[in-house]
């Protein structure tokens, strides 16, 4: 199932060209969405069973018109929900769930199970969900996310306004998912990051490769 914004999937390109892999699934598009003005979602377990009241186009923040919402009023806590299935070509590989960036503090659940959290609005983060999904079985899974973005001036915020409205040179705040969300299939040993250092005088480069080794785990 692939949702689209209008007739075009928003940000369809692979989001990390320096480590592009052939087997991946873009999760941008329409997600279920809710404002949590009273901070009641976690207490009431919205990550298990909650009737979301609206939709949002990811990866645009709710303050943007391109999100389909376009409300600039401040809400410190928002929730996202997305259903998906794992394609059959992920079979035999590890399945990694990636978030390009979420502003600011995020908690993530998969099918009601807590995966973990991340704090920081500018850095990517990911979860290995291989032990919770089986590719190609048509089983529908659900990602649920709680995002908190406070107006604290001690929180790294670039030029985002900490007030309810933008003013002078301070921009409208960005809350929630604002970079691509995607799934990718990787081997049990895979390249996690690279570092390339050129030496112009010697006409060569030093390439450093950093690998992530994951023990093989059977799902049977």
- Cite the beta strand spans of the chain per DSSP E: 24-26, 29-35, 54-58, 77-84, 94-99, 102-103, 105-110, 113-119, 125-128, 141-148, 176-177, 181-186, 189-199, 204-213
If one looks up domain 22-187 in CATH, what number appears?
Answer: 2.60.120.260
**Residue range 58-111, pLDDT digits in tens:** 999 999 999 999 888 888 999 999 999 999 999 999 999 999 999 899 999 999
Structure tokens at 190: 């895979």
* Whole-angstrom distance, CA of residue 111 vs CA of residue 170: 38
**Residue 5: what pLDDT?**
45
Low-confidence stretches of the chain (pLDDT beneath 70): 1-7, 151-171, 213-220
Residues 6+ apart with CB under 8 A from 130: 94, 95, 96, 214, 217, 219
**Residue 129: what pLDDT?**
95
Cα 59–chain centre separation: 8
**Residue 18: what pLDDT?**
83
The domain limits of the chain are 22-187
């Amino acid at each position: 199932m692939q949702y689209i914004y209008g007739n075009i999937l928003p940000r369809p390109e692979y989001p990390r060209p320096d480590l592009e892999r052939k087997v991946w699934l873009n999760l941008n598009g329409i997600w279920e969405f809710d404002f949590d003005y009273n901070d009641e979602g976690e207490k009431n377990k919205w990550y298990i069973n909650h009737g979301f009241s609206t939709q949002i186009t990811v990866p645009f923040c709710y303050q943007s018109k391109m999100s389909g919402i376009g409300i600039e009023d401040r809400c410190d806590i928002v929730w996202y929900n997305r259903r998906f299935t794992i394609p059959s070509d992920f079979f035999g590989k590890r399945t990694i769930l990636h978030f390009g960036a979420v502003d600011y503090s995020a908690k993530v659940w998969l099918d009601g199970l807590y995966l973990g959290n991340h704090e920081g609005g500018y850095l990517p983060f990911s979860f290995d969900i291989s032990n919770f999904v089986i590719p190609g079985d048509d089983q529908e899974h659900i990602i649920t996310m709680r995002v908190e973005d406070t107006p604290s001036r001690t929180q790294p915020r670039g030029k985002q306004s900490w007030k309810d409205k933008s003013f002078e040179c301070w921009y409208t705040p960005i809350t929630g998912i604002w970079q691509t969300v995607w799934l990718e299939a990787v081997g049990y040993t895979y390249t996690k990051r690279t570092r390339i250092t050129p030496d112009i005088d010697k006409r060569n480069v030093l390439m450093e490769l950093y690998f992530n080794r994951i023990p093989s785990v059977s799902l049977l």
